[in-house]
Amino acid sequence: MEPYTITTSYPDGRTEQRLATPEEVAQREADIANAEKEEAERQAAEQEAAQTLLSGLTKLIELGLSEKEAAAVSGVHNLNTLKTTAQGVN
């Protein structure tokens, strides 16, 4: 736990600084850990959705559509970006 400073700004322009309590520091660290977890979950879901869409596009191409036609049918505007997202490269 690393201490940090809390600054309170008042409407009259005054500011007040104090060190965070151990509970506030622990809460901040828990909030940061939760935010990092949520971001990782969001990225994983985005990658999974991209992989699913890319799989569908691949099947359309195997049925005889061109890449452009398959992308147009599915509403994909940038196939290269989709491929990069599906590979997990952000």
Token match 């491929």: residue?
83
Query: Which two three-digit tokens encode residue 7?
Result: 């600054």
What pLDDT does 67 receive?
Answer: 85
Distances (CA, A) of 84 to 52, 53, 59, 78, 81: 13, 12, 18, 10, 5
How far, in Å, CA of 44 to CA of 36, rounded? 12
Using 70 as the pLDDT threshold, list the residues of the chain that sit under it: 1-2, 89-90
The predicted-structure confidence for 58-79, as pLDDT tens digits, reads as follows: 899 899 998 888 888 888 877 7
State the SS3 of 27-70.
Answer: HHHHHHHHHHHHHHHHHHHHHHHHHHHHHHHHHHHHCCCCHHHH
What pLDDT does 90 receive?
Answer: 56
Stated pTM of the model? 0.68
What pLDDT does 18 receive?
Answer: 94
